Chain A
Amino acid sequence: MRGEKNLQDITTAHPDGIGGSPLRPDGTLKVRGEFAYSSDLWHEDMLWGMALRSPHAHARILSIDTTEALTQPGVYAVMTHEDIPGSKYYGLEIQDQPALAFGKVRYHGEAVAIVAADHPETARRALAKIKVEYEVLPPITTEEHCQNPETYGYVHEPHEYKGHASGNVVHSQKVVSGLGVNDDVRAMADVVVVGEYEVGMQDQAFLGPESGLAVPAEDGGIDLYIATQWLHVDRQQVAPVLGLPENKVRLTLAGVGGAFGGREDLSMQIHACLLAQRTGKPVKIVYSREESFFGHVHRHPAKMRYEHGATRDGKLVYMEARIVLDGGAYASASPAVVGNASSLSVGPYEVPNVNVLAIAYYSNNPSCGAMRGFGAVQACFGYETQLDRLAAELGMDPVELRQLNAVSQGSHLPTGQVIDAPAPVAELLQKVKDLPLPPPLDTEHHLDIRELPGALSNTSHGEGIVRGVGYAVGLKNVGFSEGFDDYSTARVRLEVIGGEPVAMVHTAMAEVGQGGVTVHGQIARTELGVERVTIHPANTEVGSAGSTSASRQTYMTGGAVKLAAEAVRNELFNLGRSRYGWTYNDLSLVGGKVVSASAGVLIPIVDLLGDQAIDLTREHHHRPTVPFDKETGQGFGHVQYTFCAHRAVVDVDVELGLVKVVELAAAQDVGKALNPLSVIGQIQGGSTQGLGLAVMEEIITKDGKVRNPSFTDYLIPTILDTPPQPVEIMELADPNAPYGLRGVGEAPTLSSTPAIVSAIRAATGLALNRVPVRPEHITGT
C-alpha cells in the first residue's frame, strides 16, 4: 500500500529530536566570538560599578567617609548601606546577608561601599579614596570557635539569627535508622573501621566573571541583563533591596560563562541596580578574577568522622557519621547542603543501622553554598575511603565489597525512602572494572615526559614512578528536596513562518553551558514533528524555571517544555477535529504533518494552522517530597536518585609527590540520554572538577583571610592534567521522570575524587585522609 510506506518513512524519529545529538543552537555564535556574555554588554553612556571590600575577616565598622571619593572627576555615585532605599538584607534561604555591610564585616572581601564612574580605573581610584575605620575583631574560624560562642563570640548576634539558625549553627540534621548505632549494634560487627576525613574548600572557578548591566527604565524600574542560575530567585532578592515591587525589576539572561553553583547566590546584581537607580544611567559591573574569588560562595570544607561495621563476609552492619561543614559568614544554601550531606551520607549502600549528624556552622571564613555535588561530594569522599579501608581489613576486592552492599531498585535508604527506580550500582562498577586498562608506562622504549607526573616541568624521566588503580561510586539526588515545590514553566508557540511550521520555546531557564537550549529544541521537534525551533531569550516575562542546579533542568524545564508542547499538539488536533470532524484517537505529528496511525497523513500542519498561532504555557511540578524529620531524618525527601562510578588510574612520582592521572573512566545511568553528546560532555566535565578537588584545588585561608584568590595560586586542571576519559552510559528508564531521564550533571563530580585518591593510595600505601592531596602528603615532608 502506498500510504503505508509513506507512513513508515515519516514516522521515523526525528534525527534532531530526543536521543539525537544535534548541534548547539548557540554554537556558531560562540565560535565566532559573537555570543554576548554578561561581561560583553555595552550601553551608550554606561558607567562602571565597583565595590570596596573588607580587608578583614571580622571587624566592627566605626565609620565610612566617602566625601573625597565623591569629589573625584568621573565619579557619579558612591553608596553605602545608608543609601539603600529598601531592605538591607537578602539571602537565598535565610535573609541574613547585608547588601552592603553595616555594623560589622563578617568575612574577608565583604562589600562595604560601591561606586559608579566613567572608567574602571576611575572607579578603582575612587574606591581607594573611601576611608573606612575598622575595629578589628578576632575571627571565628574553627569548629572549636563556632561551638563555643560564649567564649569566642557570635558571628551574628544571638538576636540576629534568622530561620532555624542559632548560636553559630546554621542548620543541623540527624538521620537515624534501624537500631541506630549503640554498643549492641557494634557487637554485631566482626570488623570495624573508623576514619577522620577532611575536604578542602573548593571554588567553582567558572571562567566567565560575575558581571551584568543594569539599565534604569522610564517607569522607575530596572532592567537587569545578568549571568545567573535562576532569574526569578534573583529578582525575588533584588527587588526588596531596591524598594521596588517585583514587576518593576525585569531580568534577562545574558550569556553565562559557566556556573557550577557559584551563581546561585547574588553577586553584583544588587550593586549594579542600586547604582543605576541612583545615577539614572546604565551601570555595568565586571568582577576581576580576584574579586570573583570573594564575590561568590564556595564548596563547604568538611571535617568528617565515619565509622563502619561489617560482618566477616563483608555485609555492612552499621554506619555512624558526623559531618561538620563550615558555612562561612552567611547562610547561603547551607541548610539544603546539610540536608544532602546527611541524607546521602551513607552512599549507594544498604546499611541496616545508621546514625548520622550533619551540621553547618557560621564562621568568619568565606561563605559557602552551592557547588556541583552539593553536600554529597564531601560525604562521598568519606564513605568511599571507608569502603576501601574495610575491603583491605577484610581482605576483599574493593569492587566486590561495594557490589555486595550496593543498593538496587527496592532498597531502603536510611531516610526510609525506598528507591523506586532502577539503581544499577553494582552494574556500573562492573562496567568501569571491565574496561581495558591503559597500557603500562613504557619508560624504556618510548619516553614522552608530557605523559609523566610533573610533565613539562621535566621532573622525572620515569624514575620513582608507581602506578595505582582505584574505584569509587556515589549517590546523588536530582532536583530540590525536602518538600520544596520546585516547579518549572515553559511556553511553546506554534505558528507558520515563511510557509513552514515553526515552534518557539520560551522559558526562564538559565543556559549556563550545559546545553539545555539544545534539549528544548529536541523536545519540541519530537513532540511537534517540526523541523524549525527557535529559542526565545530567557527572561522574567515567563514563569520561573527554577534553578540551573541540582542536575534538575532537563528533568524540570525539559519536562515543562514537553508538557507545553503536548498541550499545543492537543490544541492543534482539536482544531482539526472541530474543522474536519476527525474522530481518530491515534493522531500524531510527524514530519510537519498530522498523521493518523490508521488513516495515514491527514493534513500538513501549515494548512491546518493557517495564520493562527497556538501559544500555551505549562508548569511542570515533580512529585511531592516532604521535609526530613528533624530528629530521625525520616521522610520521602528526594525526587530522584542518580549514580555514577569511576575507575581512576594514576602514576605517582613517589619521590616528589607528583601525581599524573593516566585515565579516568566513568559509568553512569542517565535513564535516557536526550542528547548523548552533551551527556558525555557533562560527565567528563564533572569528573574533571572532581579531579581538581582530588589533587589541586583548594582555597587556602588563614585566620579567615583568603591567601590564593587568583588562577596563579588557585589551580584548576589544565588539558595536561586531565587524562582520557572513557564513558559508559546506561539508560534504565525512571518511570517517574519525563522520557525516563535522570539528571546527569552532578553525579560524576562525586566519585571521581575518591577514585583518584584511592588510586594514589594503591600506588603509595599511604592513608591520605584529606583532599586535595598535596605533594607533601605523599612525600611526608
Chain B
Amino acid sequence: MRVTFNANGRPVEADDVWEGESLLFMLRERLGLPGSKNACEQGECGSCTVYLDGAPVCSCLVAAGQVQDREVRTVEGLADDENGLDPVQQAFIDAGAVQCGFCTPGLLVQTHDLLEREPQPSDNDIREALSGNLCRCTGYEKIMDAVRLASARKCSGNSSEVSR
C-alpha cells in the first residue's frame, strides 16, 4: 500500500508498505528517518517515541497505515534551521546525558512534550514522565540534570548558557 502523511512539516509518501509494518519501520527504512530507534519494538523502551498529531507515541506500536493523512514529528524535526538545536537537545549534550545515545531520541521527544505541558516540572514529575524510556548507560542522573537544565533555560529564555 501507499501511505501519505506529514513528517516533520513536509508531505511524504511511502510506497510498497506491507500491512504489518510499523510506523517505526516505515520512518527508518522507507523514509530515511532513522533517528527514532528500535531497541525493543514491543512498546517497552520508549526509544522509538515520536509525536503523532502532537501526542508522544511509541512508533513501534503504531501500524504504518494508521498515520495516513496525519502529522508525525520525530527527533529529526526537533531542531529548526533557524535556531539550531532545540533547548532540550542542547541541554542533553551539555549535561552529559548522552552516552551511547540510543535512548536519546525517544527521551528528547518525551522531554520536549513534558516541558511543553509543564515548563517547571518537579523531580517526581520528570521521573513519572520519563518512566517509559529506558536508558542502560547513564543511570539517569545526568538525564535528570538535562531536563532541569532545559527547563531552567526555557524559563529564562536563554537556551545556550552552559552550566556544568
Interchain CA distance A157-B154 in the complex, whole Å = 66
User: How many residues does chain A have at the interface if contact means C-beta atoms less than 8 Å apart?
Assistant: 63
Q: Are A514 and B99 in contact (CB under 8 A)?
A: yes
Q: Are A258 and B102 in contact (CB under 8 A)?
A: yes
Q: A258 with B137: in contact, given A32-B85, A514-B99 (CB under 8 Å)?
A: yes
- B155 located at the interface, meaning its Cβ lies under 8 Å from any Cβ of chain A in the complex: no
Q: Are A687 and B38 in contact (CB under 8 A)?
A: no
B79 to chain A, nearest CB (A): 6
Contacts of B32 in A (CB 8 A): 42
Interchain CA distance A206-B102 in the complex, whole Å = 9
- A712 located at the interface, meaning its Cβ lies under 8 Å from any Cβ of chain B in the complex: yes
Q: Are B102 and A207 in contact (CB under 8 A)?
A: yes
Interface string of B78-118 (1 = CB under 8 A from A): 11000001000110111010111111110010000000000
- Nearest A residue to B132 via CB reads A718
Contacts of B153 in A (CB 8 A): none
B94 to chain A, nearest CB (A): 7
Q: Are B139 and A685 in contact (CB under 8 A)?
A: yes
- A245 located at the interface, meaning its Cβ lies under 8 Å from any Cβ of chain B in the complex: no
- A256 located at the interface, meaning its Cβ lies under 8 Å from any Cβ of chain B in the complex: yes
Contacts of A725 in B (CB 8 A): 139, 141
Q: Are B76 and A258 in contact (CB under 8 A)?
A: no
Which of A21, A33, A34, A259 gathers most chain B CB within 10 Å?
A: A33
The segment from A160-168, A562-570, A675-683 found at the interface with B is A675-683
Contacts of B37 in A (CB 8 A): 37, 39, 207-208, 257
A581 to chain B, nearest CB (A): 45
Interface string of A699-734 (1 = CB under 8 A from B): 000000000001110001111101011000000000
Q: A33 with B136: in contact, given A208-B39, A257-B100, A720-B127 (CB under 8 Å)?
A: no
Contacts of B20 in A (CB 8 A): 121
- Nearest A residue to B142 via CB reads A681
Q: Are B100 and A258 in contact (CB under 8 A)?
A: yes
Q: Are B103 and A207 in contact (CB under 8 A)?
A: yes
Q: Are B40 and A33 in contact (CB under 8 A)?
A: no
Report which of B42, B104, B143 forms a contact with A30, defined as CB distance below 8 A. B104
Q: Are B138 and A33 in contact (CB under 8 A)?
A: no
Contacts of B138 in A (CB 8 A): 681, 684-685, 688
Within 8 A of A (CB), among B109-148: 124, 126-128, 130-144
- B35 located at the interface, meaning its Cβ lies under 8 Å from any Cβ of chain A in the complex: yes
Q: Are B93 and A31 in contact (CB under 8 A)?
A: yes
- Nearest B residue to A32 via CB reads B79
Report which of A209, A718, A724 forms a contact with B39, defined as CB distance below 8 A. A209
Q: Are A512 and B100 in contact (CB under 8 A)?
A: yes
- Nearest B residue to A684 via CB reads B139
B18 to chain A, nearest CB (A): 6
- A119 located at the interface, meaning its Cβ lies under 8 Å from any Cβ of chain B in the complex: yes
Within 8 A of A (CB), among B29-43: 29, 32-42
B76 to chain A, nearest CB (A): 5
Q: Are B98 and A30 in contact (CB under 8 A)?
A: yes
Q: Are A34 and B44 in contact (CB under 8 A)?
A: no
B114 to chain A, nearest CB (A): 12
Report which of A207, A678, A689, A722 forms a contact with B96, defined as CB distance below 8 A. A678
A747 to chain B, nearest CB (A): 14
Q: Are B47 and A207 in contact (CB under 8 A)?
A: yes
Interchain CA distance A515-B74 in the complex, whole Å = 26
Q: Are B128 and A21 in contact (CB under 8 A)?
A: no
- B164 located at the interface, meaning its Cβ lies under 8 Å from any Cβ of chain A in the complex: yes
Contacts of A689 in B (CB 8 A): 136
Q: Are A681 and B96 in contact (CB under 8 A)?
A: yes
Q: Are A207 and B45 in contact (CB under 8 A)?
A: yes
Contacts of A89 in B (CB 8 A): none
Q: Are B99 and A37 in contact (CB under 8 A)?
A: no
Q: Are A34 and B76 in contact (CB under 8 A)?
A: yes
Q: Are B136 and A121 in contact (CB under 8 A)?
A: no
- A72 located at the interface, meaning its Cβ lies under 8 Å from any Cβ of chain B in the complex: no
- A537 located at the interface, meaning its Cβ lies under 8 Å from any Cβ of chain B in the complex: no
Report which of A32, A204, A209, A711 forms a contact with B44, defined as CB distance below 8 A. A711
Contacts of A288 in B (CB 8 A): 41
A710 to chain B, nearest CB (A): 6
Within 8 A of B (CB), among A494-508: none
Contacts of B131 in A (CB 8 A): 456, 718-720
Q: Are A31 and B141 in contact (CB under 8 A)?
A: no
Q: Are A710 and B124 in contact (CB under 8 A)?
A: no
A255 to chain B, nearest CB (A): 8
- A623 located at the interface, meaning its Cβ lies under 8 Å from any Cβ of chain B in the complex: no
Within 8 A of B (CB), among A237-273: 255-260
Interchain CA distance A668-B94 in the complex, whole Å = 23
Contacts of A684 in B (CB 8 A): 138-142
Within 8 A of B (CB), among A613-670: none
Q: Are A27 and B98 in contact (CB under 8 A)?
A: yes
Contacts of B139 in A (CB 8 A): 681, 684-688, 722, 725
Q: A33 with B105: in contact, given A121-B20, A209-B39 (CB under 8 Å)?
A: yes
Q: Are A719 and B130 in contact (CB under 8 A)?
A: yes
Contacts of A186 in B (CB 8 A): none
Q: Are B18 and A121 in contact (CB under 8 A)?
A: yes
Interchain CA distance A207-B36 in the complex, whole Å = 13
- A205 located at the interface, meaning its Cβ lies under 8 Å from any Cβ of chain B in the complex: yes
Contacts of A451 in B (CB 8 A): 124
Interchain CA distance A32-B33 in the complex, whole Å = 11
- B64 located at the interface, meaning its Cβ lies under 8 Å from any Cβ of chain A in the complex: no
Contacts of B101 in A (CB 8 A): 26-27, 30-31, 35, 255, 257, 513
Q: A31 with B137: in contact, given A286-B38, A289-B40 (CB under 8 Å)?
A: no
Interchain CA distance A24-B47 in the complex, whole Å = 20
- B23 located at the interface, meaning its Cβ lies under 8 Å from any Cβ of chain A in the complex: no
Interface string of B150-162 (1 = CB under 8 A from A): 0000000000000
Interchain CA distance A24-B138 in the complex, whole Å = 14
Contacts of B141 in A (CB 8 A): 680-681, 684, 722, 724-725
Report which of B47, B85, B143, B164 forms a contact with A677, defined as CB distance below 8 A. B164
Interchain CA distance A258-B98 in the complex, whole Å = 11
B35 to chain A, nearest CB (A): 2
Which of A26, A37, A512, A718 gathers most chain B CB within 10 Å?
A: A718
Interchain CA distance A119-B98 in the complex, whole Å = 32
Contacts of B96 in A (CB 8 A): 21, 677-678, 680-681
Contacts of A119 in B (CB 8 A): 18
Contacts of B7 in A (CB 8 A): none
Q: Are A716 and B136 in contact (CB under 8 A)?
A: yes
Q: Are A257 and B102 in contact (CB under 8 A)?
A: yes
Interchain CA distance A689-B135 in the complex, whole Å = 11
Q: Are B40 and A710 in contact (CB under 8 A)?
A: yes
Q: Are A681 and B99 in contact (CB under 8 A)?
A: yes
Interchain CA distance A445-B89 in the complex, whole Å = 37
Interchain CA distance A24-B139 in the complex, whole Å = 18
- B57 located at the interface, meaning its Cβ lies under 8 Å from any Cβ of chain A in the complex: no
Contacts of B18 in A (CB 8 A): 119, 121
- Nearest B residue to A256 via CB reads B100
- A577 located at the interface, meaning its Cβ lies under 8 Å from any Cβ of chain B in the complex: no
Contacts of A289 in B (CB 8 A): 39-42, 44
Report which of A24, A209, A718 forms a contact with B134, defined as CB distance below 8 A. A718
A interface vs B, CB < 8 Å? 21, 23-24, 26-28, 30-37, 39-40, 42, 119, 121, 204-209, 255-260, 286, 288-289, 448, 450-451, 456, 512-515, 677-678, 680-681, 684-689, 710-712, 716-720, 722, 724-725
Q: A687-B139, A720-B127 are in contact. List 9 more A-B contacts (CB 8 A).
A: A31-B101, A207-B134, A257-B37, A257-B102, A258-B137, A685-B138, A688-B139, A719-B135, A720-B128
Instruction: Sort A-B residue pairs by CB-CB distance and give the 10 closest, nearest first.
Output: A33-B35, A513-B100, A257-B102, A684-B139, A30-B101, A711-B44, A688-B139, A33-B75, A40-B34, A513-B99
Task: Write 30 A-B pairs (CB below 8 A) sorted by A numbering.
Answer: A30-B98, A31-B85, A31-B89, A31-B92, A31-B101, A32-B35, A33-B33, A33-B35, A42-B29, A207-B103, A208-B37, A209-B38, A257-B37, A257-B100, A257-B101, A257-B102, A258-B100, A289-B40, A451-B124, A456-B131, A513-B101, A513-B102, A677-B164, A678-B96, A686-B139, A688-B140, A710-B42, A710-B44, A719-B144, A725-B141
